[in-house]
Amino acid sequence: MIIIKSQQEIEAMKPSGRLSAKVLRMLGDLVRPGISTHELNKFAEEMIRLEGGKPAFLGYNGYPASICVSINDQIVHGIPSRDVFLKDGDIVSIDVGVIVDGWVGDNAATFAVGQVSPELSLLLDVTEASLYNGIAAALVGGNIGDIGFAVQQTAEAYGFGVVYQYVGHGIGRSMHEDPSVPNYGRRGFGPKLREGMVIAIEPMINIGSGDTTGPFADGWTVFTLDGKPSAHFEHTVAITADGPLIITAE
């Protein structure tokens, strides 16, 4: 069931959105060769709690950390570790979820670590562009398929692969609500976009194919099947009469 939010409820979601955006930006500033993913997680949890929020991911279905940190061929759900350090030339996706007053804000971005190859730089630019093109298609009276179509067209124009198995989602007082928001689709298909819907749009785009593998031993981390790098960007977005409203904005 799709839960429609009132204008007041959308306003009530903004503090969690702002905080999750702030923490993600600050984590991006910390990304550098030599830092451990554990250090990033520790900083995120401390900042979230200092600002009066709670980490939305910690304990969610048993997830053991406050953020997801996915490096290179890891698509999503990478678990921070004391033993994993970022290296020059890596790309790293960081996903941050925050709860404030019972409402969830969820956003992600992929960052270059030091100097990366032109191909990786293009992957980051195109994946971020696919997110914003998807957001631009999130209009009252449209369809979920319009969003996926915009994302898919953007990524595939550059020969990149779209991940089909993992998708965006509705969001509100729960991390995952209806509807699913795929990063592929056809215009005019899927659930209607109605005023008051709040969704997380999150393209996961690969340099190679969109095929995935895992999770394996840790039960969480998802990898590209061909071992090629993947990027991930995400915003929480409200569907309003005035157009899409990005909740995860500072």
In this predicted model, what pLDDT tens digit does every residue of 204-235 receive, in sequence order? 999 999 999 999 999 999 999 999 999 999 99
Distance CA 244, CA 198 (A): 9
Average predicted confidence (pLDDT) for the chain: 98
CA distance 216 to 232: 20
pLDDT of residue 145: 98
Decide: 211 and 226 in contact? Cβ < 8 Å.
yes
Within 13 Å of residue 142, how many CA atoms lie on the same side as its CB?
A: 23
Q: What percent of the chain has pLDDT over 70?
A: 100
> Sorting pLDDT into bands at 50, 70 and 90, what band is 12?
very high
Contacts of 61 (CB under 8 A, 6+ apart): none
CB atoms within 10 A of CB 216: 10
Contact 37, 78 (CB under 8 A): yes
Q: Vertex 182, ends 178 and 187: CA angle to 5°?
A: 105
Q: Which whole number is the average pLDDT over 183-202?
A: 98
Please tell me whether residue 157 adopts helix, strand or coil conformation: coil
Helix segments in the chain, DSSP class H? 7-30, 37-50, 118-136, 144-156
**3 state SS of 177:** strand
At 173 the pLDDT is: 98
pLDDT for position 18 = 98
Q: How far apart are CA 97 and CA 176, in angstroms?
A: 11
Q: What is the pLDDT of residue 153?
A: 98
Q: What value, to the nearest 5°, has the Cα angle with vertex 226 and ends 222 and 232? A: 45
Residues in a beta bridge with 139:
none
Q: According to the model, what pLDDT value does residue 69 have?
A: 98
Could you read off the pLDDT of 45-69 as tens digits, one per residue?
Answer: 999 999 999 999 999 999 999 999 9
pLDDT digits (tens, 9 = 90+) for 163-180: 999 999 999 999 999 999
The pLDDT assigned to 144 comes to 98
The predicted structure's pLDDT at residue 138: 98
Confidence of residue 155 (pLDDT cuts 50, 70, 90): very high
Q: pLDDT tens for residues 105-130?
A: 999 999 999 999 999 999 999 999 99
Contacts of 195 (CB under 8 A, 6+ apart): 4, 140, 239, 240, 241
Q: How many CA atoms lie within 13 A of 222 on its CB side?
A: 19
